[in-house]
Amino acid sequence: MEKRRSSARIAIVVLVILAAVALYFLFRDPAGDRQTEFLGNIDVREVELGFELQGRIAAMNFDEGDRVRKGDLMATLDTALLEDRIRSATAGMEAAQAEMSRVKNGNRPEEIAIARSDVQRRQSALTEAAREYDRRRKLVESGAVSRADFDASRRRFDQAKADLEAGRQNLKLLRSGSRQEDIRLSEASASTARAELAEARTRLGKSQLTAPSDGVVTSRIEEPGAIAGAGAPIYRLTIDRPVHVRAYAAETALSYLKPGTKVSVHADGTDKSWSGKIGYVSPKAEFTPKTVQTQDMRTDLVYRFRVVVDNPDGGLRQGQPVTVRLASGEADEKSGS
């Protein structure tokens, strides 16, 4: 009898436990189980600025700590050699264009008139040589003219005919103008000269270093008078607006961590907060970095996401640990969608 009573008590306890578990899952608030805080670090972007060309630095216009705006002239190179190259390229282009115009326009009327006069002169010479040749041909048969004189007059006649034909061909060539091949060659030469001038002007433009975006100069690496190598950094610029937060979340939080989700960013040791929104969520998992503490073990797989936060007062610094919190209602709204 005592065993039956003990078994009954155990059965009642088991039923009570099962009922409690069922009631918990039936009435629990799903949003209450969601992770709403995420730990991360400030990730301020930096860029090293330098010239694309090698040259002597003529001026450095900003110092460490100065704030610059996009487009500000930060440094310049000495441009003496670049300006000489532009003058040389300009002269080359003008010469090539003049040659192209000459070839396209053909020969001048004066040149054609000279060639026409030359043909007339050669025609007269041929007429005179033909008259002498014909006279001596008749006299050589009677012996009044030697064979040598006759042969000489024949050679002069043949040469006069050849000279007249050459003059006529030259006049024809002058009248027909330039060949298409010569025109295309002159056009190509002019195009090459223009390209060389454009390159020289482009190189001159690259002698000026401008700020690619708003930011703060964190390092002034070179000084005026130094020879800067092509691509060698002379400034280091911190782009502190907007600020990015690199944070990590468990897989269970991915359903409501979507791009555009509003969040607030809280820095350790201060009551201030900054508003922002999620800009990117990594598609693949990774191990939690050692610099980040979560509620779970460090070796757990997490997903990295980036928060874009406005930082008008400069209160967030590179590497600073922060806490990212979902804005009120964001978890429920994103989950419901």
- Inter-residue contact 208 to 51 (CB < 8 Å): no
Tens-place pLDDT, residues 44-76:
888 999 999 999 999 999 999 999 999 999 999
Burial letters for 273-283: b for 16+ Cβ neighbours within 10 Å, e otherwise?
Answer: ebebbbbebee
Kindly state the greatest CA–CA separation across the chain.
Answer: 177
Q: What are the tens digits of pLDDT across the range 223-276?
A: 999 999 999 999 999 988 888 899 988 888 888 888 988 999 998 777 888 889
Give the gyration radius of the chain's Cα atoms.
46
Per residue in 164-220, pLDDT tens? 888 877 767 666 655 778 778 888 999 999 999 999 999 999 999 999 999 999 999
Encoded amino acid at 125, one letter: A
Say if pTM beats, i.e. exceeds, 0.95.
no
Tell me how far apart the alpha carbons of residues 231 and 310 are, in angstroms, rounded to a whole number.
31
Residues 6 or more apart whose Cβ sits within 8 Å of residue 253: 34, 35, 38
Write out the E strands in the chain: 37-50, 55-60, 67-68, 73-77, 208-210, 215-220, 227-228, 233-249, 262-267, 273-287, 301-309, 321-326
| Angle of helix 147-176 versus helix 109-142 axis, rounded to 10 | 160
- 82-137 pLDDT, tens digit each: 999 999 999 999 999 888 887 776 666 677 678 778 888 888 888 888 888 788 77
Distance CA 154, CA 148 (A): 10
Side chain identity at 257, as an amino acid letter? L
Domains (range + CATH), the chain: 33-44+241-326 (2.40.30.170)
- Name the nearest CA neighbour of 274 among 322, 318, 228: 322
CA distance to 97, 110, 172, 195, per residue, from 100 (Å):
5, 20, 21, 15
